[in-house]
């Protein structure tokens, strides 16, 4: 079953120790990092997501990201909670809806409608675990290097020494 994730953006940023530190330093960078991680997650799973941020202006804004991810800003008068609650209410199959927030009010309401509830830390752990799993399936090391070819597994100094050896053999 494909899921649609409704992510309370600021709630995730500020209820996760790892993201909160980044958000405290540079909120724009933290927002971008969350969107990027969710895009990769949806690309790998085929699921969809709506990341909802609290009000930015007088009217609600929406922008399409990549791979089934939509980024929404509630209106200045509205909240991300209200946008998420309405979206869950309008779902035909509410059990396909996954609400990511630590906010008790929205958890109670959306859970009562049949949506699956996930806390921010658990969601971020899922993203990390999926990323590690995908990397291992692609044959990559923990630092992102490919394991497919021998030269991809050698250190820079070993590659230099082999290059020097090759040059010596070529010149003789």
- Give the pLDDT confidence of 117-166 residue by residue, as tens digits: 999 999 999 988 886 665 455 555 555 555 555 666 677 887 788 888 88
Q: What is the C-alpha to C-alpha distance for residues 141 and 16, in angstroms, rounded to an integer?
A: 26
Q: Are 43 and 128 spatial neighbours (Cβ–Cβ below 8 Å)?
A: no
Q: What is the mean pLDDT of the chain?
A: 83
Q: What is the C-alpha to C-alpha distance for residues 128 and 124, in angstroms, rounded to an integer?
A: 6
Fold classification of 4-137 is Rossmann fold (3.40.50)
The string of pLDDT tens digits covering residues 42-63 is 988 899 999 999 876 555 556 6
Q: Are 97 and 88 spatial neighbours (Cβ–Cβ below 8 Å)?
A: yes
From the list 98, 85, 90, the residue with the least C-alpha distance to 41 is 98
Residues 6+ apart with CB under 8 A from 88: 6, 94, 97, 99, 110, 113, 115
Domain ranges of the chain: 4-137, 144-172
Q: What is the C-alpha to C-alpha distance for residues 17 and 70, in angstroms, rounded to an integer?
A: 24
pLDDT reported for residue 50:
94
């Amino acid at each position: 079953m494909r899921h649609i994730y409704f992510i309370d953006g600021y709630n995730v940023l500020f209820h996760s120790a790892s993201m909160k530190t980044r958000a405290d330093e540079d909120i724009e960078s933290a927002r971008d990092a969350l969107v990027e991680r969710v895009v990769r997650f949806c690309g790998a799973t085929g699921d969809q997501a709506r990341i909802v941020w609290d009000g930015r202006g007088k009217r609600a804004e929406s922008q399409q990201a990549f791979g089934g991810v939509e980024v929404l800003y509630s209106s200045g008068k509205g909240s991300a909670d209200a946008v998420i609650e309405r979206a869950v209410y309008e779902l035909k199959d509410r059990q396909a809806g996954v609400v990511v927030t630590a906010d008790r009010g929205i958890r109670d309401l959306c859970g009562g409608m049949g949506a699956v509830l996930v806390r921010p830390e658990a969601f971020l752990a899922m993203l990390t675990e999926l990323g590690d799993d995908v990397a291992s399936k692609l044959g990559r090391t923990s630092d992102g290097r490919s394991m497919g070819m021998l030269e991809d597994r050698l250190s820079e100094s070993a590659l230099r020494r082999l290059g020097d050896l090759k040059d010596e053999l070529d010149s003789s």
